[in-house]
Amino acid sequence: MIAVEGYEGERVGVLGLGRSGLSAARALKAGGAVPVLWDDNPDARARAGAEGFEIRDLGREGALADVTILVVSPGIPHLYPAPNAVVAAAWAAGVPVDNDIGLFFRALGQGAWDALDTPPRVVAVTGSNGKSTTSALIHHVLTSAGRPSQLAGNIGRGVLDIEPPGEAGVVVLELSSYQTDLARALTPDVAVFTNLSADHLDRHGGLGGYFAAKRRLFAEGGPDRAVIGVDEAEGRYLANQLSTAPADDRVIRVSSGTKLTGPGWQVFARKGFLTEWRKGRQVGAIDLRAVRGLPGAHNHQNACAAYAAARALGLGPRQIEAAFHSFEGLPHRSQIVAEAGGVTYVNDSKATNVDSALKALLAFDRVRWICGGLMKDGGLSGLAPGLAHVAKAYVIGREAAGFALELPGIEAEICTTMAQAVARAAEEARPGETVLLAPAAASFDQYDNFERRGEDFTARVRAALG
C-alpha cells in the first residue's frame, strides 16, 4: 500500500466504496488522515464499517463542514450528465474534489523516492481502445527484461494498493477518461495516447469533452516523453501541441497502417511489420505477423505504442521483440479460447463499441460473428468496412432483432442468448474460419459486465466442443 500523507489528523471524505474508494480510504488512514466514508449501497457501507471506518451520509446538510477534501470514485458523475449531489455540495462548501489517481501522484511526489539512485518512473496509458492491452504489454515487456514493474489503475490493482516502488521501479497505469478528468495531479514520466473514438459521451458532455479529459494527462503534468497515436485527427492535434519543432523527440508518434516520416521519432506498423525511425533513419524493426498474442491491425497499434514506451524507458529493440513473443494477450481482448477442426474461437468481449468491434472484424479473414447487446449512441454504420469479413452474424441480446436490422447486406440470425449463438456458430463454422465474439455493444442488458459475457462465451465454446 502507498500511504497518502499530508492530511494527518484531518477528516477526508470518500464517496463511493468500490475497489478504488476503499483502497483510497485505507491509504489515507495509513498516512494519518481520518477518512469518513459514504456509499448509497448499504452493503458497501457495511463492509467499510466492518473495517472500522467512520460512515457518514456525506449528502446531508452540514456533513462536509469538517472535511478537508473529498475523494470521489471514478464511477460517480462529477459534471455531466449532472453532478452528483455530494460533489455539488463540496463545490458549494469550497471543499476540493479529487480521486485516487490524484492522491497517488501527490503521494509519489512527497515520498522518499527522490533519495534513490534511480527514482521510480510512471507510465500512464489512456485512449479509447487498446489501453488495457497496451498497458499490460508494457508491463510484460518490462518484467521480461528484468525491470521491476507494477500494473495498476483501471486494470489490475487499485493504484494505491500497489507496493511503494523501489530502485528503478516502474508503475504502469491504465487510466480511463473518468480517472484523468478529475485527478488534481497528473505527472507521469511517460504518457501514452492510443486513439480516440466516440465513447462515454454522456459522461463528458460530447466528444470534445471526452477528448479534453484524455488530453489532461498530457497538459497537466508535462511528461518527459509522450507517445501519441496519430491515426485520428485528435492524436495529430495533440502531438502537434506537444512538439516544439519537427525534430522534437520528446514526442513519439505511432501509427498502424501509415508510414510516418520526418526528422522526429516515429514507430509505425504496415503489412505486419513494426518499424522505428529516429532522426531520419531506421533503428529497429519487428515482424509482428508471428506474434500470436497480438493479432490484427488494432493490436499492431497497441504493439507500436508499447514498443515506443519501452524504448523511452531505455529498453533495446531485441529485448522488446523477445517479450512480444511471450505475451499471451488479455482475457476478453482478442483472446484465443479454443481451436478445433480448423476453426479458431476468439473472445473479444471488450469490443463494446463500434470502433473496437470493427478492428476485431478486420483482424480475421472469414468470421462467424457473435454480436449484439445494449447498443450505444451513433448506430452501427461504422462497422461497414468490416462486414465483408463476416460469413454470418449471430445476434444476441434483448434488442437482437433491432440490432440485426442495423447490419444490412449480411446474413444475420436472431439468437438472443449466448448459448444459442455459440451452438449455431460452432455448427456452421468451416475450417479456416473464426468464431468471434465482438459485440459492438455494452453487456448490461444480459450481463453484469463484459467480463461475465466473455466468460459465458468461453464456457459455451468449451461445452460445444466437448
Give 251's DSSP letter: E
Q: Does 130 show up as a binding residue in the annotation?
A: yes
| Torsion angle, alpha carbons of 463, 296, 180, 378, to 10 | -80
User: Which single residue is written with the C-alpha cell 456525506?
Assistant: 58
Give the pLDDT of residue 155. 86
Q: What is the mean pLDDT of residues 365-371?
A: 97
Cα separations (Å) of 18 from 154, 162, 295, 324?
13, 16, 34, 33
Q: Does 208 show up as a binding residue in the annotation?
A: no
Report how far residue 240's alpha carbon sits from residue 188's, in angstroms, rounded to the nearest whole number.
19
Residue 112 has pLDDT above 80, yes or no: no
Q: What is the mean pLDDT of residues 164-181?
A: 94
156: left (phi over 0), alpha (psi -120 to 50) or beta: left
Q: What is the mean pLDDT of residues 416-439?
A: 97
Tell me if the domain spanning 11-98 has CATH number 3.40.50.720.
yes
Q: Report yes or no: 225 and 190 within 8 Å, Cβ to Cβ.
A: yes
Burial grade of 47 (CB within 10 A; 0-12, 13-18, 19 or more): middle
Closest CA to 407 of 434, 436, 375: 375
pLDDT band at 111 (very low <50, low <70, confident <90, very high): low
Give the pLDDT of residue 6. 93
Residue 13 has pLDDT above 90, yes or no: yes
Q: Does 326 show up as a binding residue in the annotation?
A: no
Give the pLDDT of residue 377. 79
Report how far residue 256's alpha carbon sits from residue 271's, in angstroms, rounded to the nearest whole number.
9
Looking at domain 102-325, its CATH class is alpha beta
Q: Does 135 show up as a binding residue in the annotation?
A: no
pLDDT tens, position by position, 231-285: 999 999 999 999 999 999 999 999 999 999 989 999 999 999 999 999 999 999 9
Cell of 85: 449531489
The answer to which of 154-168, 239-253, 341-355 has the lowest mean pLDDT is 154-168
Domain parsing of the chain, residue ranges:
11-98, 102-325, 335-464
Q: What is the mean pLDDT of residues 63-86?
A: 96
Q: Which CATH superfamily is domain 335-464 in?
A: Mur ligase, C-terminal domain (3.90.190.20)
The answer to which of 97-111, 141-155, 303-317 has the lowest mean pLDDT is 97-111
- pLDDT, greater one: 377 or 172: 172
Secondary structure class of 5 (helix, strand, coil): coil
Report how far residue 194's alpha carbon sits from residue 253's, in angstroms, rounded to the nearest whole number.
10
Q: What is the mean pLDDT of residues 438-459?
A: 95
Closest CA to 305 of 81, 126, 88, 48: 126
Residue 198 has pLDDT above 90, yes or no: no
- Asked if the domains at 11-98 and 102-325 fall in one CATH topology, the answer is no
pLDDT tens, position by position, 430-441: 999 999 999 999
Residue 193 has pLDDT above 80, yes or no: yes
Q: Does 131 show up as a binding residue in the annotation?
A: yes
**Sheet containing 149-153: which strands, arranged edge to edge?**
149-153, 170-174, 121-126, 190-193, 225-229, 251-256, 265-270, 273-278, 281-287
Q: Does 279 show up as a binding residue in the annotation?
A: no
Number of continuous H segments (helices) and E segments (strands) in the chain: 15, 20
Q: What is the mean pLDDT of residues 170-179?
A: 96
Residue type, position 244, single letter: T
Non-local CB neighbours of 187 within 8 Å, separated by 6+ positions = 105, 108, 109, 122, 220, 221, 222, 223
Residue 28 has pLDDT above 90, yes or no: yes
pLDDT band at 163 (very low <50, low <70, confident <90, very high): very high
| Beta-carbon count within 10 A of 257 CB | 12
pTM: 0.86
Report how far residue 400's alpha carbon sits from residue 232's, in angstroms, rounded to the nearest whole number.
31
Residue type, position 55, single letter: I
Closest CA to 122 of 140, 134, 104: 104
pLDDT band at 95 (very low <50, low <70, confident <90, very high): very high
Give the pLDDT of residue 129. 87
Cell of 403: 440490432
Q: Does 133 show up as a binding residue in the annotation?
A: yes
